[in-house]
Structure 1
Amino acid sequence: METVLTRPSAAPVIQALRSIGYNANTAIADLVDNSLDARAVKIHINFAYGESDGMITISDNGSGMDEEMLQTAMNIGSKDPRAKRGANELGRFGMGLKTASFSLGKRLSVLSKKDGVYNERCWDLDHVSECNEWQLYTKIPADVRTIMGEIESESGTIVCIDKLDRFMGYGGKRKLKETSFYNKVARINRHLEFVFHSILEKSEVEMFINGKEIVPWDPFMRYHPNTMEGEMQMLRINENRIKVQYFILPHASHLTEPEYKKAGGYKGWRDHQGLYIYRENRLLYFGDWMGLFPKDAASQLARVRIDLPNAADSDWQVDIKKSGINLPEDAKRRLEAISSIARKVSRDIFYFRTQPGPRNPSIKGSLNTWEQSGSEDGPQFILNRNHPILSELLKNLDDENAKLLNLYLKFVQLGSPSNIIDSPKVPEEEVQDVPDSQKELVIQFASSMLKLNVAENEEQLYNILLTQPAFDGLNRATIKAITTEANLIVSN
């Protein structure tokens, strides 16, 4: 059958490539991927603000490119996405360098050095639009080349983007002000410390923005003694081995104010729950359950890490920006089962603080007035029939036990889940001003715990009181002050 060779017009295609859907965060992250693929261990990202224009440079000490390699890298679509990738390789389409850069500005200059020999190329979209041809400059404009400077190591690459119309409004009527420009840079920093946290933690790679080192932000709080780690599971999905592990973050009562704020991430606690999908240790997607479950406040402590090899790109439909993904049908059922467990543990901790840890190793929630039924339908919360107060009443209901019953019923009311969902974070250092009625309730409950020999020492008594939803607004210092003033002493 006869065919005819067609050539797409350069100008409209280039404009289409600029609108793939990058934002500044994902564009810079995609450019950093190229440095990592070049085995760079030092990556410097610099943002310079100017009155009429700005400049973004990304320099690394990676393997560099000779002239043929650089020419290939600057071609539009330089790799077949179906081709097998090397181990740990982050690239896929051979488009990221160009599309990410063009989403920020209209000129892309690349200076690379391999074994001491320099090579350079430059795309200028103003020129491409004017001639409507795929004309790539073999030299970088002299003024830009001077600013880019030299590559100090034997090999490495500098990527420079200017004419920043998309990033800061170059050439338009409304140019970004300097303060807004650097606020945007700060947001990019937060994104990179998140997206590349696993790579920065596990390798010798160092990244810097405007000379300041990027410190990895671990969304799973693995350093904290109260974080719960689920067992690592290996799933085989369409011939690819996928690692899955859930993490349950500590209840707010186990965190200092700075820890609580930092763990919430830049989206907040509720919007950081869910699946975290990594490809070769680089975060691709996070922030929801991808249709498996809806978000809810009680599941905000649950974060599930999924690690993919780059060979799984097709199955998971990884897009050019490396920020969009779809769950394969074969993965949904197994991920739903693992996530369901994580969500249940999160709800237990969120509502009842039933979290083991060094601060409270022996109290596991047996004193809660409510428990989750474990059923998806019908009542979600039921009375705890194993509560020590209730157990004592069942043995022998007399006048004394009638008082315990009244106390227990108070806690049924105050411990209702609808009353404890949005408990405020309270400062730990100072004694709070507490109404006499609440003080009396603390004293009554503490006295009952001592009488029933549930608490063996003062510290355990404080932990018992702090795990009660009725006292969710009280800190440790206040609990201690109330019990001390009432002269409540644990007998050994």
Structure 2
Amino acid sequence: MSRKLGSTVDLLVPANFIRAIRESGYVSLSTALAELIDNSIQADAAVIDITIGRSRPDALPWISVEDDGYGMSEEELISCLRFGGSSRFDSRSSFGRFGMGLPAASLSQARRIEVATWQPGTPARAVHLDVDAVAQGDEASLLACDGVRGAARSGCRVTWNECDRIEYRRLVWLERSLHRDLGQMFRKFLDSGTTLRINGHRVEPLDPMLLKTKVNGRSARLAFDPLRYEISTATGETSCVTVTFAMLPVTGWHHLDNAIKRRIGVTGRGGVSILRAGREIASGWYLMGGKRKENYDDWWRCEIEFDPALDEDFGITINKQGVRPTAALREALEPELESIARILNARVRQAFEEVKFEAAVQGSCRIAGAADADLPVIRTSGRAAGALSYRLGAGQLSGELMFELTLKQRCIDVTLNIDHPAFGALYRPLQELGEAGTPVRTALELMLLSFARSVASMGVTEQERRELLLSWGATYGRMLAKS
């Protein structure tokens, strides 16, 4: 309140304020529900149940969130729907800071709100807030009254009645969307044992990094050890930002159809995931400097974690949606993160080049294998007879080798050096020709495979064979450099 000319002037006009706060900026039902789940986790809840229903087919939905946390005292209950009424105001120890989440999130979705709580040895108590009544000029009464206990010994239940902001006509579609969104937001807690259910169905953790997603025996892997940055906080102390990068298996997953790629998250969940206190608050393209997102960037992932002590640096607002990094934070992180992003983009490009290369050379390898039956037998350890099979691949090799050769288990394995001048001089032009260059490319590959077979049949040691290939590769490379 403020005083003016001897009279008392209210800071807020309740009827207008409560209508305005309904437009508090929650971009979806998922982000509003996340505020309630935050509170449950902060109350040490092990099980959180979300129930969604309608009293009749044409009625507005209702939603309840019930947990088995330690509940609230009556004093805390009376304050919980007041803006700024949190007992943890400006705390940096967990999710909440300002006591705005529960009332703002609830009003953004529903016209009538009830909060009930119970603890061992005490009766359940509840408070109510009716948007329409306050908008019509009635005083908001947040006095506690008798409530209904839940199944657990202690806990809390928030019920949203007359949810008029839900866009889904069919609640089953809404459930599906919530499973996806909340599974990703709270994946760290779900992995650590917290149970979250929607209408009795367990929400599974959804990790955009795909480190635990196995398809065809392959999963994503860490690109590097996690990076850690010490950042000065608003209080003059320091706090750590942890950045983790992952690479998806291009070789193992490139052939998956688009439906499977969408289902497991290869497409649609790429980019950067930002977590505050273990909960995702933003996903998209952040802190990558001047690097723009390309399709190849779907095949690597980045996760950035920080604690609430760095809220000012990440530009966190009261509804904990999205980030607006400060110039100082961008200066500290972006140069290295952009450099890594470009390195991973190049790795993905190279992996796809290798995949295309190996697919294109299969025909030549089949021809070589068919011809091998008419050629002199090369003896190897183990089974000494029978035609050889062939494999032709590409990769980065050290030194001036044009290709590397191994002969194991009746298979000649040739790996071309993509960094050798011959690869750019011979293969790149043929790749650009596409189908028109196939006959010439096949002839070139058969020449390389026949040369490799001749070298393998010489009966020399592996060291002598390598020295021969190195000498030939160096000579050919220097000649190409003069051409």
TM-score by length of 2: 0.70
Could you say which residue in structure 2 is the equivalent of 1:412?
428
Which runs of 5 or more structure 1 residues have no equivalent in the other structure? Answer: 169-175, 368-383, 391-404, 420-434, 457-492
Q: Is the 8 A contact 2:211 2:246 kept in 1?
A: no
SS of equivalent residue, structure 1 residue 230: coil
Q: Is the 8 A contact 2:50 2:197 kept in 1?
A: yes
SS of equivalent residue, structure 1 residue 58: strand
TM-superposed deviation, 1:204: 1.9
Could you say which residue in structure 1 is the equivalent of 2:279?
282
1:218 counterpart = 2:218: no
Could you say which residue in structure 2 is the equivalent of 1:445?
445
SS of equivalent residue, structure 1 residue 276: strand
Could you say which residue in structure 2 is the equivalent of 1:62?
69
Q: Distance in 2 between matches of 1:260 and 1:241?
A: 37
Could you say which residue in structure 2 is the equivalent of 1:470?
none
Which of the numbers 157, 181, 189 marks the counterpart of 1:199? 189
TM-superposed deviation, 1:139: 3.9
Paired residues for 1:26-41 under 5 Å? 26-41=31-46
Output one character per residue of 1:383-410: Cα deviation in whole Å (capped at 9) or x when no partner.
x9967279xxxxxxxxxxxxxx999756
Q: Is the 8 A contact 1:101 1:161 kept in 2?
A: yes
Could you say which residue in structure 2 is the equivalent of 1:432?
none
Q: Distance in 2 between matches of 1:14 and 1:414?
A: 68
Q: Is the 8 A contact 2:316 2:323 kept in 1?
A: yes
Output the amino acid matched with 2:130: D
Q: Distance in 2 between matches of 1:353 and 1:45?
A: 43
TM-superposed deviation, 1:440: 7.9
Q: Distance in 2 between matches of 1:164 and 1:188?
A: 15
Q: Is the 8 A contact 1:85 1:92 kept in 2?
A: yes
Structure 1 residues 74 and 251: CA distance shift in structure 2, 3 A: same
CA RMSD of aligned residues (A): 3.7
SS of equivalent residue, structure 1 residue 103: helix
Could you say which residue in structure 2 is the equivalent of 1:331?
329
SS of equivalent residue, structure 1 residue 349: helix
Q: Distance in 1 between matches of 2:455 and 2:312?
A: 57
Paired residues for 1:76-115 under 5 Å? 76-79=83-86, 83-86=90-93, 89-115=94-120
How many matched pairs? 384
Output one character per residue of 1:60-102: Cα deviation in whole Å (capped at 9) or x when no partner.
100101211111112122138873333xx21122111111111
Q: Distance in 2 between matches of 1:225 and 1:331?
A: 32
Which of the numbers 131, 148, 151 marks the counterpart of 1:125? 131
From the CA coordinates, give the structure whose radius of gyration is larger. Answer: 2
Q: Distance in 2 between matches of 1:41 and 1:101?
A: 22
TM-superposed deviation, 1:111: 1.1
Tell which deviates more after alignment, 76-85 or 446-455.
446-455
Structure 1 residues 213 and 79: CA distance shift in structure 2, 3 A: same
Q: Is the 8 A contact 1:289 1:295 kept in 2?
A: no
Could you say which residue in structure 1 is the equivalent of 2:297?
299
SS of equivalent residue, structure 1 residue 131: coil
Could you say which residue in structure 2 is the equivalent of 1:189?
179
Could you say which residue in structure 2 is the equivalent of 1:159?
158
Q: Distance in 2 between matches of 1:316 and 1:79?
A: 23
Q: Is the 8 A contact 1:354 1:363 kept in 2?
A: no
Output the amino acid matched with 1:183: W
Output one character per residue of 1:184-209: Cα deviation in whole Å (capped at 9) or x when no partner.
221121000101111211x2211111
TM-superposed deviation, 1:56: 0.4
Q: Distance in 2 between matches of 1:62 and 1:388?
A: 65
TM-score by length of 1: 0.69
Structure 1 residues 348 and 158: CA distance shift in structure 2, 3 A: same
Could you say which residue in structure 2 is the equivalent of 1:19?
23
Q: Distance in 2 between matches of 1:150 and 1:217?
A: 32
Structure 1 residues 212 and 11: CA distance shift in structure 2, 3 A: same
Q: Distance in 2 between matches of 1:339 and 1:34?
A: 33
Q: Distance in 1 between matches of 2:339 and 2:288?
A: 16
TM-superposed deviation, 1:7: 3.5
Identity, in percent, stands at: 22
